Structure 1
Amino acid sequence: MKIRKSFLIVLMSFSFIFAFAQSGKKLDKIIKRDYQIIECTISKISDKTVEYSFPGETLQISLDVSQIAKIDFASGRSQTFDVSSGNNSPSSGSSSNAVSEFKTNTIAVLPIPYLNSDTQESSEDMAKFAQNDLYNKLLDKSSNIFPLTVQDLRTTNSLLHKAGIDHNNIDATSIEELEKILGVDNIVAAKVSYTIGTGTTSTTYNSGNAKVNDNNKKVKTNDVSTTTSNNQTYYYYTVYFDMYKNKDKIYSQTRKPFLAVKDSWMDSVNYLLKRSPIYVKK
Structure 2
Amino acid sequence: MKKVMLLVFMSLSLVAFAQRGNVNDILFTTSGEIIQGKVVKVTASTISFSYPGESLVNEIGSNQLQKIVFSSGRTQNFGNASTSDSAAEAVTNVPTPQAETPTTTIPKEEIYLGPDENSVTASANNNRLAVTPMTYLVNGQYSKEISGKATQFATDYLARQNQSLPIEVQEMALTIRKLVDAGIGFQQLAQTSAGKLQSVLGSEYLVLIEINETHQKTEAKKDNGFFDVQKEQAKSDDSIRYEIELILFGSGGAETYSSKFSNERSFKSPSGNSGSQSDWKMAMQYVLDQILTSGSL
Rounded to whole Å, the distance in 1 between the matches of 2:113 and 2:230 is: 80
Report what 1:243 is aligned to: 248
Identical-residue share of aligned pairs (%): 18
CA contact (8 A) 2:242 2:262 kept: yes
* Residues 1:257 and 2:275 are matched in the alignment: no
Correspondence 1:137-216 to 2 at 5 A: 137-144=157-164, 146-201=165-220
Amino acid at match of 1:252: S
Equivalent residue pairs, number: 192
Q: Find the aligned partners of 1:171 and 1:160 in 2 and give their Cα distance.
A: 13
Aligned amino acid, residue 274 of structure 1? D
Cα shift readout 1:232-268 (whole Å, capped 9, x = no counterpart): 5422221001111111111101010142554443222
Q: For residues 278 and 186 of structure 1, do their structure 2 counterparts lie closer, same or farther at Cα, with a shift above 3 Å needed?
A: farther
Residue aligning to 1:3:
none
Secondary structure at the aligned position of 2:265 is classed as coil
Letter of the 1:234 partner, please give it. S
Q: Which runs of 5+ in 2 are unaligned?
A: 1-39, 46-52, 56-69, 73-106, 224-228, 267-274
1:118-137 → structure 2 map (5 Å cutoff): 119=140, 121-137=141-157
Shift of residue 225 of structure 1? 2.1
Question: What is the rounded CA distance, in whole Å, between the counterparts of 2:243 and 2:186 in structure 1?
Answer: 17
Cα deviation, residue 103, structure 1: 7.6
Answer yes or no: is the 8 Å Cα contact 1:35–1:163 preserved in 2: no
Which residue identity is paired with 2:161? K
Letter aligned with residue 129 of structure 1: K
* TM-score under structure 2 length normalisation: 0.52
Matched, 1:266 2:276: no
CA deviation vs aligned residue, 1:215-238 (integer Å, no higher than 9, x gap): xxxxxxxxx824134445422221
Does the Cα contact within 8 Å between 2:212 and 2:242 map onto a contact in 1? yes
Q: Which residue does 1:110 correspond to in 2?
A: 132
Change (3 A) 1:35 1:123: farther
Q: 1:94 is matched by which residue type in structure 2?
A: E
Are 2:111 and 2:199, in contact at CA under 8 Å, matched by a contact in 1?
Answer: no
**C-alpha distance in 2, partners of 1:62/1:235?**
61
- The one-letter code matched in structure 1 to 2:284 is V
- Deviation string 1:132-176 (CA, Å, 9 cap, x unpaired) is 1111211220324x1001111110111112233344442221110
Higher strand share: 1
State the one-letter code of the partner of 2:144: E
Distance across 1 between alignment mates of 2:161 and 2:222: 44
Deviation, structure 1 residue 202: 7.7
Letter matched to residue 261 of structure 2: R
1:115 is displaced (CA, Å) by 2.1
8 Å CA contact 2:250–2:256 kept in 1: the answer is yes
Distance 2:112 2:255 in 1: 28
TM-score by length of 1: 0.54
Deviations 1:38-94 (A, max 9, x none): xxxxxxxx976xxxxxxxxxxxx989xxxxxxxxxxxxxxxxxxxx99x99964442
Matched-pair contact (CA < 8 Å) for 1:197–1:233: yes
Q: What letter matches 2:152 in structure 1?
A: N
Task: Classify 1:165/1:233 alpha carbon distance in 2 versus 1 (closer, same or farther; 3 Å).
Answer: farther
Let me know the Cα RMSD of the aligned residues.
Answer: 4.1
Q: Residue 270 of structure 1: CA displacement?
A: 1.4
C-alpha separation in 2, matches of 1:178 and 1:34:
18
In structure 1, distance between residues paired with 2:113 and 2:152: 36
